[in-house]
Amino acid sequence: MKIAIVGTGYVGLVVGACLAENGNEVVCVDKDETKIATLEAGKMPIYEPGLEEMVRRNHGNGRLLFSTDLPSAVGQSEVVFIAVGTPQGEDGAADLQHVLGVARDVGRALSKYTVIVDKSTVPVGTAHKVKAAVAGETKQAFSVVSNPEFLKQGAAIEDFMKPDRVVIGADDQRAADIMKELYGPFTRTGAPIMTMDTASAELSKYAANAMLATKISFMNEIANVCELVGANVDHVRKAVGSDRRIGNSFLFPGVGYGGSCFPKDVKALVKSSSDLGYDFKILRSVETVNEHQKSKLVRRMEEHFGDLAGRTIALWGLAFKPRTDDMREAPAIVVIERLLALGANVRAYDPEAAETARRIFGDRVVICDTSYETLGGADALAIVTEWNEFREPDFKRMRQLLKTPVVFDGRNIYAPEQMRTLGFEYVSIGR
């Protein structure tokens, strides 16, 4: 199938590469000439495991092309995906100006029946707005489909190639059949292709992310209660997670969630519900808990040291989660900004997010090349992102490098008994 993807951000690039991997002819379009030139040269604007190899392979085979020529790409395609950003406005609502702008551009470029797919995360009702925007520019027949993405950063390739489900919101059977044909090769193992109306499809994305965010904040609240009553959240988490109605995923306490999806989507669902006159109390509480949790490690440092002015804190992990370089809404930003405001010095390391951090903090934070480099002369270590390389470090070397052997573990990656045996003062979450 001939496909155009408008937008070469995280979603657009992953979707384009995966569709090309299955033999489709894909053109990824972006108005940013520098980004297109970078992709043509085989370099990635983002870090996602496996993506660079897949892009290079399919670009080399001629199945994946990059272009700034939207009319040409749309004109030769049967399906056009809109995968541009929907940034959060000041009031929490998703900003649709880029989506609707692309819709109008696509409308002007149509030369035959085409399926136009909303792949961006958009509020309920967007499909109708896109349809109106396209119809205002063309007399050609077309359909608008909502096809939300459910990609986890760090595992996006696996999620797309082997999805839990594919959601297709379509108001006509012709478009639904084309989308089923496109996704059929990805669901041969039995994953369902769910067809529904566009409003239900649009809401399903927000509902899924809101539920996952709720599980995270709920477990962080349980961890805080554990500290008050002397319970161990690891034991509580395992007992709760063994219930098949609940499951084990997203029950790990820590310093809160971040990234490009959960914070934005929770706020957007709260705002859109409010616009309809509904007060989404649970999600407002989820937001409040999450923001409070992000500064928990710093509060524990203040309890331990008292005045943090002049102290040096080593920090491991800057990205909002492992296996990505994304720092949008990352807990590390809140932790670092609070430490700097209290007069502390910060030395930080992340396997992939170093350049992103340098753009955010400039020279206010020392970004180190290795995890051990951060420890030299530091008063304590704070662990904010649970990269695998942090799980089994050289503890003896850590003790030698740290001025005082104190570890504030915001992801509970070590066993408290082990750390005490190794001679560390160890502070974790809910244990």
Tokens at residue 417, please?
């008994």
Write down the residue that tokens 């950063």 correspond to. 153
The tally of CA atoms less than 13 A away on the side-chain side of residue 168 is 24
Q: How many other C-beta atoms lie within 10 A of the C-beta of residue 248?
A: 12
SS3 27: strand
Q: How many other C-beta atoms lie within 10 A of the C-beta of residue 163?
A: 19
The tally of CA atoms less than 13 A away on the side-chain side of residue 256 is 23
The one-letter code for the residue type at 245 is R
Cβ 329 vs Cβ 260: under 8 Å: yes
Q: How many other C-beta atoms lie within 10 A of the C-beta of residue 394?
A: 11
What are 67's strand-pairing partners? 29
Q: Active-site positions?
A: 261
DSSP per-residue letters across 45-95 = SS--TTHHHHHHHHHHTTSEEEES-HHHHHHT-SEEEE----PBPTTSPBP
Between CA 40 and CA 35 the distance in angstroms is 9
Cβ 48 vs Cβ 84: under 8 Å: no
Cβ 14 vs Cβ 160: under 8 Å: yes
Q: Label residue 188 exposed, middle or buried (CB < 10 Å: 0-12, 13-18, 19+).
A: exposed
Q: How many other C-beta atoms lie within 10 A of the C-beta of residue 292?
A: 15
Write down the residue that tokens 């297109």 correspond to. 36
The one-letter code for the residue type at 170 is A
Tokens at residue 295, please?
């500064």
Tokens at residue 130, please?
């896109």
Residue (of 216, 212, 224) closest to 428 by Cα position = 224
The tally of CA atoms less than 13 A away on the side-chain side of residue 131 is 15
